[in-house]
Structure formats: C-alpha cells, structure tokens
C-alpha cells in the first residue's frame, strides 16, 4: 500500500484523538476514493494508506485498537477498510425455506418487477441457504418452474464485485445461453451479495438458494 496522506502533522491541527473517525478515517476514505483505491488502511493512528497493493501480504496483525470512535492501526500495522457502494450493508435478505433448492411445491414464484420484485443487492441466508445454488436445480423446485442457479465463481474480498451469470433450468436445458442473465457478486464480511436485475425475462422463473 502507498501513503496517501498523514493527519499526524501537528501543524495541520486536524487530528482529533477524541474523534478519529471523522478526523482520520472519514477523510482517508474520501482520499482513497479520489485515488481509485478500493481498500485503505489507517496506520500510526493518523496515516492514510491505499492504492493497489497486497494489503494482506503479512497476514492478520494484533497491533490495532479501537480509539476515538474508530478502529486504527498502531506502529507498522494497517487497520484495513473496504470502500463499497453500500451493498454490504444495504441489501435484501432471501431467507424463506421455500427458496431452498430442495423445496418441491409450486408457489407461483416469479422474480420479476410485475410480481413485486425489485432490482438490487440480495443476500441468501437462513433456511433458503447461505448462497445462491451453484449447480443446476431441478425443474419445478424452490417455488417456481424455471429454477435459477449461480454459474460463475465467488470472488475474494480483495476482488470487490465481479461479473457472473444466473442460469435457468427450463427442463430442456440446465443453462440456456439465450435466457441466462448476467449479474454481479461481491464477498462482504463473511457472506456474499448478488446484484440481481428487475426481471428474469419471463415467468415462472426465480433464484434458488443452496439450503437443505
């Protein structure tokens, strides 16, 4: 990582030890965004580090602490933050057991705007599963006819959001190139979120979880 700014300079008189979140972390976040850095780190309580680099090269450090309303690194340690567009905190949760890939009853489910579906970021959790199903789901399962499943790879945190596909089993094919949808996926802190469109381009089609 590269030093972007230091707020430790006493001549600046901007570093507030009682409010490091505002005087250091928030300012560093803006500086990182200006420089196109997805990750930034706070070192020595008031140094702002960022730009491309192996932020996790040396593994986890115990030399960080919470002080002044923020988490920061001390000497030779970065407390690393990730910039997002809010997808890791502002998402819809799909947790109903009827979305599980093994649920067999038809419920007229259609993940399209004319059935109340909205585009945005979604997280699978609870009885639906922890992830979108990542292999072909049997036709007629998870409350719908054409079952949607994730076709791609799941990213590491450092990769941010990456493109992927959702395939729909239309009984004749598990993944018809003419009907699959491009989406994006991101790994957050211990879970994944999927950016799903407002329509599946037909009914009855829905996204299925990997639950039991």
pTM, 2 dp: 0.74
Residue 58, pLDDT > 80, answer no
**Whole-number pLDDT of residue 175:** 96
Q: Are 132 and 58 within 8 A, CB to CB?
A: no
Read off the pLDDT band of 37 (50, 70, 90). confident
Bridge partners, residue 65, by sequence: 72
Residue 121, pLDDT > 90, answer yes
Read off the pLDDT band of 157 (50, 70, 90). confident
178: helix, strand or coil: coil
Measured torsion, CA atoms of residues 139, 142, 143, 146, in degrees rounded to the nearest 10: -30
Question: pLDDT tens digits for 158-207?
Answer: 788 899 999 999 999 999 999 999 999 999 888 999 999 999 999 999 99
Q: Rounded mean pLDDT of the chain?
A: 91
* DSSP notation for 74-89: -TT--EEEE--SSTTT
**Alpha-carbon distances, residue 55 vs 162, 194, 196, 199 (angstroms):** 19, 25, 30, 38
């Amino acid at each position: 990582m590269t030093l972007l700014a230091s707020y430790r300079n006493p001549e600046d008189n901007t570093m507030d030890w009682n409010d490091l979140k505002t005087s250091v972390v928030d300012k560093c976040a803006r500086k990182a965004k200006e420089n196109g850095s997805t990750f930034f780190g706070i070192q020595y309580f008031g140094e702002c580090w960022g730009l491309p680099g192996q932020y996790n090269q040396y593994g986890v450090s115990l030399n960080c602490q919470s002080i002044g309303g923020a988490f920061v690194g001390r000497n030779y340690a970065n407390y690393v933050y990730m910039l997002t567009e809010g997808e890791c905190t502002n998402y819809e949760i799909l947790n109903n057991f009827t979305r599980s890939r093994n649920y067999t009853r038809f419920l007229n489910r259609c993940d399209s705007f004319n059935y109340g579906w909205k585009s945005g970021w979604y997280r699978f959790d609870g009885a639906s599963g922890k992830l979108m199903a990542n292999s072909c789901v049997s036709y007629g399962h998870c409350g719908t006819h054409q079952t949607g499943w994730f076709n791609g790879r799941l990213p590491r945190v450092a990769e941010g959001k990456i493109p992927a596909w959702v395939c729909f089993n239309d009984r004749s094919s598990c993944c018809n190139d003419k009907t699959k949808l491009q989406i994006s996926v991101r790994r957050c802190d211990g879970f994944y979120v999927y950016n799903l469109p407002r329509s599946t381009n037909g009914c009855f089609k829905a996204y299925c979880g990997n639950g039991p």
